[in-house]
Structure 1
Amino acid sequence: MKKKLILILILALGILLRTIFVNSSPPSLYGDELTITLDAYSIFKTGHDQLGNFLPLTFPMGAGRPAGYVYFTIPFVAIFGPAALGARGLSILSGIGLILLIYLALKKTFSERVGIIAAALYAVSLWDISLSRGGFEAHFALFLVILGLYLFLEAKEKPIFYLFSAISFGLTFHTYPTYKLNLLWFLPLLFIFGGAKTTLDYGKNYLFGGLIILLILGILSLSQTFVGGSETRFLNINVFSQVKLKSNIEEKINFERTINKLPNNITRFFHNKPVEYIKVIGENYLQNFSMDFLFIHGDRNPRHNMATMGELYFMEIILIPLGMLYLWNKYRKILMFLIIWLILAPISTAIVGLPHALRSSFMLPPLITLSALGLSIIIRQKTLIPLFITSIFFVIQVTFFLQKLLFLAPYEYNSFWSYPAKLGSELAIQNKDKYDYIFLSDRLDSVEFAYPVYARVDPKDIIDRNNNKINLGKYTFKKFGNVYIGNIPNQEIDNFLDNLRARVLYLGDLTDLKYLKSYETINGVDNTDSLLLTKRNL
């Protein structure tokens, strides 16, 4: 009873840390959250995405977004509407679910004490708190993989769980591109180390049934690569498609071949694209294990690391080796499994670029496991001094983390969350009845998605406007009532607005400033200029 109460308190803490001020920190929805919200809400209301496609498995407005996160977000937008909790509810729930799954998996593998410790560490994990507070597909993918892992472990006693495990893994294929690559090595690894072969005598029918389910869902995902363009984003951002990197590599190779004194046929062996790309990917890979990424600055992207702190606690520098030592002495097979997991997890990230809190998140469960085992050693010590010191360090770091996450980052990094688009949309909504024309410049990042969300435009109207843009003068716009969203070249804004001979409000990016004869700037949440507006013919 006491341990159940402790688990309930841990879950309550995890919920609090993932939901407190979530409507204001982050301060607005960024581009991916906006398109996910629009697609989920549109499917809920019409059965079609925002472009009018019926129940698609890939979403074009998300640059080939897999369907998983969108469809599982539908219940949240149905309850909360197209709003922050609608977009982030699934990710919040994934974080809470991961706390429980880590507890269950480690309780089954080691002991209830280790499970409780791991759940507590996951509840206060800097990495997972940050992922839970944004509408991140990768976080849901992580939840599905760990759910599949836990069900796989349960299937050793109840083979029917192989079917549910396969469903969970199969859905992961439809959630986040790099996790598709992760599953290609993780599933064989799990089969080898998870003891599935021991159940073949009495559970092989369920195991084969699970393999069929996994194969069907995998083939369906693969088909979307060719039919729906589900890998568009991955193909556009991997290291081989980065134009600047390619140019730099070619310049480096040409320079080195020119000055090298070896014969050309030998020089080409040492200085070529494969060698240079291996270096790039190798450097990207090793950065995932760097002190800077894990313990000091994280991935330096305020969107999925708002506190811009390390992904792990400083004390885990000690806890992780202690956990490895514990496994070396008692569970070497499990240690080998976790080490291989950690070694392989960053590969898909390295192909795309430097460490990334979303793509590298598959490293988190084994790291938490090792930390929990290390902390369990400290807790078992006869003296309380090591535990007291460890607790003090945890409390200090989480305090600094929370003050930055909740009271600084929403203001300092508001532009990373498309806040100017939210501000412009709200001004347009407030002033609709005062003007004949309101123009929202699409130079405001993601404003074409922000306005329909914040204005709660009917999904049928959104579908119509996305497919039937209108021309006004020389320019094309999405028209929602008297609100026009589109692009007017900077140097043409004044003439265009003057020629309308009506009451006009223009809301644009600060880059328009030097081209306008009169304007006002509007402050954002950080009390600095966020956007500008200009009025005509009042």
Structure 2
Amino acid sequence: MKKRAIFILLLAIILGVITRHYHLGLAPAGLYLDEAAQGYSAYSILKTGKDEFGLPFPIVFRSFADFKTPVYIYLIVPLIPIFGLSAFTVRLPSFLSSILTLPILFLLIQKLTSGKQSGYWLSSLSVLLLSLSPWHILFGRTNFECNVALLIYLLGIYLFYLGLKKPLLLIFSGVVLAVALPAYHSERLLVPLSALFFLVRFNKVLLKPTHLRFALTGLLLAFLITLPLLTIALTPGFLARVNTLAIDPAQNLPGVITGLSGLSNSALNSGFFLRLKDFLALYLAYLSPRNLFFLGDSGPRSSFPDLSTFFFWQLPFYLHGFYLLLKKKDLGEIRNLTLFMLFVSPIPAALTRDPFSTIRALPLVIPVTILISLSLIDIWQRLKTSLRRLLGLAVFGLLLIYSLLKLYSSAIILNEYYRAADWNYGWQQVVEVINKNTDSTLPIVIDNVRTEPYSQVLFFTKFDPARYQRENFEVPLSEYYTNLTRQTTKKIGRISLRGIAWEADLAVKQYLIGDFLAISPEQISNNHLRLIAEIKYPDGSVAFRITLTQPELNSATIK
């Protein structure tokens, strides 16, 4: 059985590599501004030891004043000298984390099932399903910190369980879980809750003399690693994402009950009670079969077209697995951890306003996958005859083939065709035209009224970070984490990123670049612009137009 389990693990890793590495860097088409921002921040750190705002080795990265988590960015830094600054490079840490999660999950389940035969089945089937999970694959093909954070979080949990038998590993568990804290926003809550869970569940073991000193050492090292983060924990920068996404206590919350008065009105229509109802509704949405298997995430960059977070055929196994997990109390520690992760993973996401955010709830993919695996194993064990098992394998094999075909259709074909605009497709092509088809002595204005493409321009031009730091000022470095003021006008060599001022800009011979709304065919005709190039999305619609002004042809009145 052990050899079979290892074979399935290897198969899962192969499938995981195929589904995540195929066209990595090319699909999704385009490079979203946050991906480019993280890539250029890493490039700036590599070249100057500072981010693009001039701060040496930030604790969190200012970027668009949303203050991105640091771990992913620092992981990109050593990859740039090897692979160059490209979309492939900035997505590579997420891909590698996604693949490494498979053996870590396998080993974790093996550990929690004490090497029993049922444990081999559960571990191997879980990683096989995870290798084909649309939810996990999506974040393994794109630059999202949540995938790296999930790997680190699972590794920390695995080391903790190993540490119960080998106390020295408790030190490593503390260190790894401390690194998970700044890896992504959700882990800032999940890690402390996990530590509390472990302390309550294993306090007798941890307080033994053989374990206590290692546990305290791990805790001390975790504190030291977390200390830089704690120094800015109350700054507007650190809290930027929380303040942007959290349920706003000042907003008009839904669910007010009319016709009440007195004490009942004060209690049932109080801000606390309404926010609690809102949180519970959002929380339960993450366990809803309707969301998990049919609707999925509505965000165009956090979902695949025509595909939910799990395949619809997995729904009955999810419900059956849930029942088995509650019923079978002899499953051991895997039952306790699965229940813990199932009910705790949605909490960080439910604290935000988004109704179903797969990014913030990614750890939930682990317990749900285990539930589905539990059900499949139970059904397999009920198939007593060889013929029934052969038919069962055939059906399961066909479902896996269907899943692979559905993934290819959604992730590669439909996603590229319909969602290129959502992934900011076209800026690489714009930069290529600038480099090859424009006069290097003329200035360029890129319209940024509807988007902020400065990170993509910096990324694809590989603009000198030291020069960019000198020529662009946003806030004093002493106010890096406290002042959220934005400077949206950017200067990148001869390229200015700002709104087009038509009257003034038409009087200067220069290039104007904008999307199909900023520079329409009517504007080109009326203002005597010379069309240099049109960048089109994969569906044939216009993404950007690159034009040249001709001041000598323009009249004094701008139409």
TM-score, shorter chain, exceeding 0.5: yes
Residues 256-291 of structure 1 deviation map (CA, whole Å, 9 limit, x = unaligned):
66xx3x546653443332232222222211111122
Aligned mate of 1:458, from 459, 464, 471: 464
Residues 73-124 of structure 1 deviation map (CA, whole Å, 9 limit, x = unaligned):
2122232222112211110011001111011111222233322222211111
Match of 1:107 in 2: 110
Match of 1:356 in 2: 357
Q: Distance in 2 between matches of 1:215 and 1:46?
A: 29
- Give the deviation of 1:311 after TM superposition: 1.0
Alignment check: 8 A CA contact 2:426 2:536 kept: no
Q: Which deviates further from its counterpart, 202-211 or 393-402?
A: 393-402
Match of 2:310 in 1: 312
Alignment check: 8 A CA contact 2:268 2:274 kept: no
Alignment check: 8 A CA contact 1:477 1:486 kept: yes
Q: Distance in 1 between matches of 2:199 and 2:435?
A: 55
1:250-399 aligned at under 5 Å gives the runs 260=259, 262-263=260-261, 266-324=264-322, 327=325, 328-329=327-328, 330-331=330-331, 334-353=334-353, 354-380=355-381, 381-382=383-384, 383-384=388-389, 385-399=391-405
Match of 2:541 in 1: 528
Match of 2:101 in 1: 98
**Tell me, which stretches of 5 or more residues in structure 2 are unaligned?**
114-118, 476-486, 552-559
Aligned mate of 1:158, from 145, 161, 166: 166
Residues 328-363 of structure 1 deviation map (CA, whole Å, 9 limit, x = unaligned):
432255424422321222121111021111101121
Match of 2:499 in 1: 487
Alignment check: 8 A CA contact 2:11 2:128 kept: no
- Give the deviation of 1:537 after TM superposition: 2.1
Q: Distance in 1 between matches of 2:145 and 2:72?
A: 6
- Give the deviation of 1:191 after TM superposition: 3.5
Distance 1:107 1:335, change over 3 A: closer
- Give the deviation of 1:27 after TM superposition: 0.9
Distance 1:528 1:176, change over 3 A: same
1:98-177 aligned at under 5 Å gives the runs 98-110=101-113, 111-177=119-185
Distance 1:228 1:278, change over 3 A: closer
- Give the deviation of 1:43 after TM superposition: 0.8
3-state SS, counterpart of residue 496 of structure 2 = strand
3-state SS, counterpart of residue 284 of structure 2 = helix
Match of 2:480 in 1: none
RMSD of Structure 2 on Structure 1 (CA): 2.7
Aligned AA (1:8): L
1:438 and 2:451 correspond: no
Residues 185-211 of structure 1 deviation map (CA, whole Å, 9 limit, x = unaligned):
122113334687267342221111111
3-state SS, counterpart of residue 102 of structure 2 = helix
Q: In proportion to residue count, which structure has more helix?
A: 1
3-state SS, counterpart of residue 207 of structure 1 = helix
Q: Which deviates further from its counterpart, 507-516 or 41-50?
A: 507-516
1:235-250 aligned at under 5 Å gives the runs 235-240=243-248, 246=251, 248-249=252-253
- Give the deviation of 1:394 after TM superposition: 3.3
- Give the deviation of 1:527 after TM superposition: 0.7
Instruction: Give identity over the alignment, percent.
Output: 21
Match of 2:54 in 1: 52
Q: Distance in 1 between matches of 2:204 and 2:94?
A: 30
Q: Distance in 2 between matches of 1:190 and 1:394?
A: 36
Alignment check: 8 A CA contact 2:112 2:332 kept: no
Aligned AA (1:462): Y
Aligned AA (1:93): L
1:89 and 2:92 correspond: yes
Residues 357-387 of structure 1 deviation map (CA, whole Å, 9 limit, x = unaligned):
1101121111122222322334443322233
Alignment check: 8 A CA contact 2:472 2:491 kept: no
Aligned AA (1:133): R
Distance 1:308 1:232, change over 3 A: farther
Q: Distance in 2 between matches of 1:5 and 1:334?
A: 22
3-state SS, counterpart of residue 200 of structure 2 = helix
Distance 1:196 1:404, change over 3 A: farther
- Give the deviation of 1:297 after TM superposition: 2.4
With normalisation by structure 1, the TM-score equals 0.88
Match of 1:472 in 2: none
Q: Which deviates further from its counterpart, 131-140 or 285-294?
A: 285-294
Alignment check: 8 A CA contact 2:160 2:170 kept: yes
- Give the deviation of 1:398 after TM superposition: 3.2
Q: Distance in 1 between matches of 2:248 and 2:546?
A: 41
Distance 1:319 1:166, change over 3 A: same
Alignment check: 8 A CA contact 1:101 1:150 kept: yes
- Give the deviation of 1:180 after TM superposition: 0.5
Match of 2:40 in 1: 38
Q: Distance in 1 between matches of 2:452 and 2:137?
A: 25
Q: Distance in 1 between matches of 2:103 and 2:419?
A: 31
Q: Distance in 2 between matches of 1:231 and 1:466?
A: 25
Alignment check: 8 A CA contact 1:320 1:374 kept: yes
Distance 1:40 1:228, change over 3 A: farther
3-state SS, counterpart of residue 312 of structure 2 = coil
- Give the deviation of 1:132 after TM superposition: 0.5
- Give the deviation of 1:227 after TM superposition: 4.8
Q: Distance in 2 between matches of 1:445 and 1:79?
A: 31
Alignment check: 8 A CA contact 1:292 1:310 kept: no
Match of 1:478 in 2: 490
Match of 1:19 in 2: 21
